[in-house]
Each structure stands twice: as structure tokens, then as C-alpha cells.
Amino acid sequence: MYDQYATEKLIDLWLTEDIGGCDLTAQTMIEPDEQGHFVMNARESLIVAGIGVAARVFRKYDPTLDVQVHFADGVRVEPGAVLITVKGNARSVLTAERTALNLAQRLSGIANETAKYVEEIRGTKAQLIDSRKTTPGLRMLEKHAVLCGGGLNHRLALDNGVMIKDNHIAVCGSIKEAVMRVRRKLPVLTKLEVECDRVDQVREALAAGVDVIMLDNMSLEDMREAVGIIDGRVKVEASGGIRLSNIRPVAETGVDYISTSKITQSAPAVDIGLDEA
């Protein structure tokens, strides 16, 4: 889920960053009319993400290139799978190669990591969601990669919803006061979430009439108590310190959502290569 118009502008920035004034290697070594046939292939088992955007990198740099995409985003492929075929001017293919590969490797890596977390909480009611801790300039696409891996998106940006955190509460004086101020101006279809790091705050947030309560860095015991207090009246999100090694016990407390930055900040890139066919 990403906007094509916004992506086109990003591709211009990516190519400009990588190429600089010109691809000196390609232009000094390869004849202007020399042709090539290349395949972008998976070198490990992975979940495809961003492959359509990677193909558009080639097309944007040289619209004469024949670029074919062979798998849709969200599909798991095995080593050796051909993701993209590129035919045409060899200079153009090799100039745009690294930008396209960087993108596919990064986004597929996020999809892969997300899938591991989703599998770990399978069978519970909890759903995995991401955060705003993304690479500047790549949020839209990194959140798309989370969807490809089976996760869900939290706020896409600050204008997507209200999240009252500890510093907001400190400025306003209390959760009750912070919620009252927000409710006076909040669009009627926009959700309001409040972050709580103590059980007494959960009671205050529930009484204030919020839509979602985040349990921030709480112990498993406190999470279970908070879920019991809320008793299904609003949605509950667990956050803070979530890792693959501890996500299952958190899910078993009965929360609705678990958010983590690990799936975007710490996801290793997968191995994808471009080879001559």
C-alpha cells in the first residue's frame, strides 16, 4: 500500500544520490548501444516486498528498457527464483542496478522479519503492528513491507491519529485533562490513544473515554491486570522492549495489538542479486 506519485519522486532522489554526475564505470567501459539481458534473483528464501518499485527504478532511468516482474509483493520465494527480468541498454541496467537492489533487499528484509514475529504469536488474539521508527524517506515503503510480511500498520504519520504520551500528559497535568483538550478539537472519525506505564493510569484513561490504551513497558503481570480492568471496553496495545524472544508471552496476556520497532529498525537485508541471463 503505497502511493505511485510519491514513489516516483523518491526514485528521482535515489538515482541522483547513487549516480552523481554520471556512472563513470559504465560510460567508460560499455559502448552506448551495447545490449544486455539480466535477471534479479533471490539468493535465499524470502518474502518479496518492493519488487514493483525496484522495477520502476529501471524504467524511470531508461523507459526503453524491457522490465518484467515475475512475483507479486507478499509472496514467499525460494533461492534461485527470478524476481525481475531486465533487457535493453546495458549501460542503463548497470547504472540503475544498485538502487533497485538496495530497495528490494531492504524491503524484503523487513517483510521477512515481520513474518517471523507474526508466526511467533500465531494462535493468540494479538496482531502485530509497526511504529513510526522508520528510515527517513522510506516510511511509506517500509510500512508496505510490514503488510507484505503479515503485520499491520500503526500511524503512517502524526496526522493519522492522536497518541497522548508521557510528555503530553506532563504538559497538561493529567490524562483526564489531556483527553479533554483533544476531544474539543479532534475530528469525529479519528481515534485517540493514550500511553500508560502504570495500572492506575489505565483506570484514568479508561474513565476519560479513550479509544485505545497502550501498555508501555509494563511487566507481564501488570499487563494481565490491565487487560482484566479494561475487559474489552477499548482496544489494548502492548509496546516497549518487544523482541522475537519475548513477544509470545506478551501476546498471551490478552492484548489486541503488539507494536515493535524491531521489524523496521533491526531487519537485516536479504540477499538478492542481479546477474547476466
Cβ-based neighbours of 7, under 8 Å, separated by 6 or more = 53, 56, 140, 141
56 is an active site residue: no
Q: What is the pLDDT of residue 86?
A: 98
Tens digit of each residue's pLDDT (9 = 90 or more) over 229-277: 999 999 999 999 999 999 999 999 999 999 999 999 999 999 999 999 8
Class of CATH domain 4-111+268-276 = alpha beta
C-alpha cell at 179: 483527553
Mean pLDDT for the chain overall:
96
What is the residue extent of each domain of the chain? 4-111+268-276, 118-265
- Mean pLDDT of the 192-202 span: 96
Indicate which residue of 43, 98, 155, 176 is catalytic. 98
- Mean pLDDT of the 213-219 span: 97
Assign domain 118-265 one CATH number from 1.10.1740.10, 3.40.50.1470, 3.20.20.70, 3.50.50.60. Answer: 3.20.20.70
CB count in 10 Å sphere of residue 25: 11
98 is an active site residue: yes
Indicate which residue of 120, 193, 216, 256 is catalytic. 216
Tens digit of each residue's pLDDT (9 = 90 or more) over 17-37: 999 999 999 999 999 999 999
165 is an active site residue: yes
C-beta separation of 186 from 162 below 8 A: yes
Tens digit of each residue's pLDDT (9 = 90 or more) over 39-84: 999 999 999 999 999 999 999 999 999 999 999 999 999 999 999 9
